[in-house]
């Protein structure tokens, strides 16, 4: 055995655990789902190859296009709110105020509390009879009778977004805070020396220098929010009347609820294509940003 | 006419007293250098003048007005930071134009002032580049350009050359001196590099632990240091110090016992009591090989041949380090004793408190 060959084998041996992990946990299910999407697999032990029939069905029959549009609206509203609230939170946490450390700790609970517990807490808050939101709004006179927020399409749609934002904001805030603190203090001092006020400095120095962080966080958040399942499932299970059914909920309902594995797999492949597109944009953006920094 | 006055200026961070009562007058057009070791408070003092640090007590007066509570922009100052503090996402033009944009000046005036500054600083061909594509010297010029366009009464420089390599530093030093001559503005410059201080300053302010050790022209500080700190800080290699005991003084001469090195009689009009501990100071460059008005024998441990100079490092019998600096390439070898002498007029004497005795 030559030394080059043994070196190659040694390298492969070192890579083997990671390769096996990727192949069994990521690649195999992905390929299997893709193959399944061309079959009519259901509860029966055997199934037939149906070609593009599943894809034809989901785009021609039913409301899949509507689900896709709803998913994009839901995702973009949620990500947009997370970014805006996260940025405001980072600005506030970055301000030199007494008790700064305490406020930073207080941002963490939504992220630290197990997700299901947080969602059930919101589920109670949205309750019409016993919920805090309805109660408070009645006490302040904004509504005249109890409102079950999850019982109506419009309010349920916004309620699921609010819960998703509540869970997602802490990470965005902390990430933006870190990015903000990495901006050299000298830049702000130089601008202040030149007469730039707080808002002017934020607009012309902080925000432009935060662009890489905002872009990175937006794309990462877009990917995770697009696939957000737990929140909607626990709160509404996609209802009422499908008003909160996003692509991931729709896929679950088709594949697991209706036992149509083949058609469910086709819906999952469509999700996969969207997410891969986001990932592609993300990696392109990261590469462009790192090239920009090098210049 | 005094353009800047500091009156009993003090700064504390909680219990730590950083600036301990500074009094200073700076005249219009002067190039003043604050120099001192790290942690002496020179940058803090500059930042207080700029308005970036609050004043704990005392007064800062610029052009006759007390400016303690004014924001930096209303003090008539412009500052150049050690890190240059250039905005990486803006072009050179926009970096220089930044203060003018804040003032909302018309585009035509912005262009005219930025172009004028760029011409002075030879940055005309770089105006559309980003700071990341510039060399250290060019970045420094952009930072200076941003200060120039504001047409301030006083320029403040916080160690502006410390990030540059040695060759570029001496080049930029000359450029800054030329700029000072051309603009005729008052400049206050902070550095820990005494060569920068000696070569650039009209007036040097030596700071030590938050107080002014001495203020004077570079040559005053070199020839007549007020105390041991200034004597040791100004000059490179630093002054040699030899401990001694006063034998007696008669108003014209002080006799000092230098232990194993013998006795030296220094011309001094100050009377000082016998038995007092004093320190004799002699600069390495004031030593001559061979016998002098006072001579001693040293054995170098290390000899550095620099061509233009030769530097010897020895240890005196009492354990003090002793450095000699000689012109050219004289015959001195490591571990071989030789005589060195100096003129009595070149020697400095400091009392027990470290103050100079004249």
Q: What is the mean pLDDT of residues B184-197?
A: 91
Q: How confident is the model at residue A128 (pLDDT cuts 50, 70, 90)?
A: confident
Cβ separation of A191 and B98 shorter than 8 Å?
A: yes
Among chain B residues, the shortest Cα distance to A190 is held by: B85
Helix B107-120 and helix B92-102, axial crossing angle in degrees, nearest 10: 130
For B273-337, strand residue ranges (E) read 277-282, 288-289, 294-298, 302-305, 309-315, 321-327
**Percent of chain B at pLDDT above 70?**
99
Q: What is the mean pLDDT of residues B135-164?
A: 90
Q: What is the mean pLDDT of residues B218-244?
A: 94
Average pLDDT score over chain B: 92
Of the partner residues A190, A208, A209, the one whose CB lies closest to the CB of residue B85: A190
Q: Where are the domains positioned within chain B?
A: 2-233, 240-350
Cβ separation of A209 and B88 shorter than 8 Å?
A: yes
pTM of the model: 0.82
B102/chain A closest Cα distance in angstroms: 6
Question: Which is nearest to B256 in space by CA: B281, B287, B278, B227?
Answer: B278
Query: Would you give the end-to-end CA distance of chain A in angstroms?
Result: 46
Among chain B residues, the shortest Cα distance to A205 is held by: B87
CA Rg, chain B, in Å? 24
Average pLDDT score over chain A: 90
Q: Where are the domains positioned within chain A?
A: 63-294
Please tell me if residue A289 touches chain B, with a CB cutoff of 8 Å: no
Q: Which residues of A touch B50 (CB under 8 A)?
A: 193
How much is the ipTM here? Answer: 0.84
Whole-angstrom distance, CA of residue B8 vs CA of residue B22: 5
**CATH architecture observed for domain B240-350:** Beta Barrel (2.40)
Q: What is the mean pLDDT of residues B58-74?
A: 92
Is the pLDDT at B245 greater than 60? The verdict is: yes
A205/chain B closest Cα distance in angstroms: 7
Q: Which residues of B touch A290 (CB under 8 A)?
A: none
pLDDT of res. A63: 85
Whole-angstrom distance, CA of residue A123 vs CA of residue A112: 18
Alpha helices in A95-206 (DSSP H): 100-106, 109-112, 115-125, 132-139, 153-181, 185-193, 198-201
Cβ separation of B81 and A186 shorter than 8 Å?
A: yes
Count other Cβ atoms within 10 Å, centred on residue B109: 11
Cβ separation of A205 and B87 shorter than 8 Å?
A: yes
Spell out a b/e string for A105-143, using b for 16 or more CB atoms within 10 Å of the CB, else e.
Answer: eebeebbeeeeeebbeebbebbbeeebebbbebeeeeee
Q: What is the mean pLDDT of residues A5-25?
A: 93
Q: Which residues of B touch A189 (CB under 8 A)?
A: 52, 81, 85
Contact A244, A232 (CB under 8 A): yes
Cβ separation of A192 and B71 shorter than 8 Å?
A: yes
Question: Which is nearest to A196 in space by CA: B48, B118, B153, B85?
Answer: B85
Whole-angstrom distance, CA of residue B134 vs CA of residue A139: 63
Q: Which of B54, B70, B72, B103 to mutate to test the interface with A (most CBs of A within 10 A)?
A: B72
Q: What is the mean pLDDT of residues A209-215?
A: 91
Alpha helices in B80-186 (DSSP H): 92-102, 107-120, 136-148, 166-183
**Between residues A293 and B194, which one has the greater pLDDT?**
B194
pLDDT of res. A289: 76
In terms of C-beta density within 10 A (0-12 exposed, 13-18 middle, 19 or more buried), how is residue A165 classed? buried
In terms of C-beta density within 10 A (0-12 exposed, 13-18 middle, 19 or more buried), how is residue A193 classed? buried
Q: How confident is the model at residue B15 (pLDDT cuts 50, 70, 90)?
A: confident
pLDDT of res. B14: 85
Among chain A residues, the shortest Cα distance to B132 is held by: A295
Is the pLDDT at B266 greater than 70? The verdict is: yes
pLDDT of res. B1: 58
Of the partner residues A190, A196, A200, the one whose CB lies closest to the CB of residue B81: A190
In this structure, which CATH number among 3.40.50.1820, 1.10.3720.10, 3.30.1330.60, 3.90.650.10 belongs to the domain A63-294? 1.10.3720.10
Q: Does domain B2-233 have CATH number 3.40.190.10?
A: no
pLDDT digits (tens, 9 = 90+) for A144-194: 888 899 999 999 999 999 999 999 999 999 999 999 999 999 999 999 999
Whole-angstrom distance, CA of residue A236 vs CA of residue A168: 19
**Percent of chain A at pLDDT above 70?**
98
Cβ separation of A193 and B51 shorter than 8 Å?
A: yes
Q: What is the mean pLDDT of residues B334-346?
A: 94
Q: What is the mean pLDDT of residues A218-223?
A: 91
Is the pLDDT at A2 greater than 70? The verdict is: no
pLDDT digits (tens, 9 = 90+) for B19-34: 999 999 999 999 999 9
Residues 83-112 of A with CB under 8 A from B: none
Contact A222, A79 (CB under 8 A): yes
Is the pLDDT at A295 greater than 70? The verdict is: no
Of the partner residues B50, B89, B130, the one whose CB lies closest to the CB of residue A193: B50
Q: How confident is the model at residue B313 (pLDDT cuts 50, 70, 90)?
A: very high
Chains A & B: contacts with CB separation below 8 Å: 59
Among chain B residues, the shortest Cα distance to A199 is held by: B102
Spell out a b/e string for B140-172, using b for 16 or more CB atoms within 10 Å of the CB, else e.
Answer: bbbbbbbbbbbebbbbbbbbbbeebeeeebeeb
Please tell me if residue A198 touches chain B, with a CB cutoff of 8 Å: no
Residues 134-193 of A with CB under 8 A from B: 184, 186-187, 189-193
């Amino acid at each position: 055995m030559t030394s080059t060959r043994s070196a190659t084998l040694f390298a492969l041996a070192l890579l083997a655990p990671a390769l096996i992990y990727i192949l069994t946990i990521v690649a195999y299910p992905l390929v299997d789902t893709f193959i399944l999407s061309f079959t009519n697999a259901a509860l029966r032990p055997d199934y037939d190859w149906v070609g593009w029939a599943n894809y034809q069905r989901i785009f021609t029959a039913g409301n899949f296009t509507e689900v896709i549009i709803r998913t994009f609206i839901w995702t973009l509203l949620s990500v947009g709110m997370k970014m805006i609230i996260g940025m405001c939170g980072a600005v506030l946490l970055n301000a030199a105020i007494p008790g700064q450390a305490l406020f930073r700790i207080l941002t963490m609970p939504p992220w630290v509390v197990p997700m299901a517990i947080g969602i059930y807490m919101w589920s109670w808050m949205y309750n019409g009879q016993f919920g805090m939101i309805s109660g408070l709004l009645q006490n302040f006179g904004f509504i005249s009778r109890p409102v079950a927020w999850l019982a109506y399409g419009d309010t349920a749609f916004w309620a699921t977004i609010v819960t998703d934002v509540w869970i997602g904001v802490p990470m965005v805030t902390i990430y933006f805070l870190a990015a903000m603190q990495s901006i050299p203090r000298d830049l702000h001092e130089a601008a202040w020396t030149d007469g730039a006020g707080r808002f002017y400095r934020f607009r012309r120095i902080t925000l432009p220098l935060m662009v890489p962080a905002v872009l990175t966080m937006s794309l990462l958040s877009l990917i995770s929010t697009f696939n957000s399942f737990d929140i909607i499932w626990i709160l509404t299970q996609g209802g009422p009347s499908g008003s909160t059914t996003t692509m991931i909920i729709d896929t679950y309902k088709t594949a697991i609820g209706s036992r149509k594995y083949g058609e469910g797999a086709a819906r999952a492949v469509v999700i996969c294509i969207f997410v891969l597109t986001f990932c592609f944009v993300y990696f392109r953006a990261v590469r462009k940003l790192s090239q920009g920094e090098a210049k | 006419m005094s353009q800047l006055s500091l009156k009993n200026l003090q700064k504390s961070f909680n219990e730590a007293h950083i600036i301990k009562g500074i009094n200073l007058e700076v005249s219009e057009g002067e190039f003043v250098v604050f120099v001192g070791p790290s942690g002496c408070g020179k940058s803090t003092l500059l930042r207080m003048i700029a308005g970036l640090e609050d004043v704990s007590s005392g007064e800062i007066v610029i052009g006759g007005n007390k400016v303690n509570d004014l924001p930096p922009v209303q003090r008539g100052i412009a500052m150049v930071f050690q890190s240059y503090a250039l905005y990486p996402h803006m072009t050179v033009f926009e970096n220089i134009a930044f203060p003018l944009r804040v003032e909302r000046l018309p585009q035509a005036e912005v262009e005219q002032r930025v172009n004028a500054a760029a011409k002075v600083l030879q940055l005309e061909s770089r105006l559309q580049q980003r700071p990341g594509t510039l060399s250290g010297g060019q970045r420094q010029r952009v930072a200076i350009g941003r200060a120039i366009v504001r047409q301030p009464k006083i320029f403040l420089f916080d160690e502006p050359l410390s990030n540059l390599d040695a060759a570029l530093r001496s080049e930029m030093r000359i450029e800054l001196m030329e700029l000072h001559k051309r603009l005729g503005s008052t400049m206050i410059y902070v550095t820990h590099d005494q060569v920068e201080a000696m070569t650039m300053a009209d007036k040097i302010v030596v700071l030590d632990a938050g107080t002014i050790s001495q203020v004077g022209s570079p040559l005053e500080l070199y020839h007549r240091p007020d105390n041991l700190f200034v004597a040791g800080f100004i000059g490179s290699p630093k002054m040699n110090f030899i401990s001694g005991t006063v034998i007696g003084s008669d108003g014209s001469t002080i006799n000092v016992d230098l232990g194993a090195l013998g006795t030296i009689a220094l011309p001094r009009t100050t009377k000082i009591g016998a038995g007092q501990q004093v320190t004799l100071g002699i600069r390495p460059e004031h030593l001559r090989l061979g016998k002098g008005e006072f001579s001693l024998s040293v054995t170098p441990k290390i000899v550095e041949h620099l061509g233009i100079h030769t530097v010897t490092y020895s240890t005196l019998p009492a354990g003090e380090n002793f450095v000699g600096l000689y012109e050219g390439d004289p015959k001195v070898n490591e571990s071989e004793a030789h005589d060195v002498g100096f003129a009595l007029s070149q020697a400095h004497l400091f009392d027990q408190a470290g103050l100079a005795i004249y």
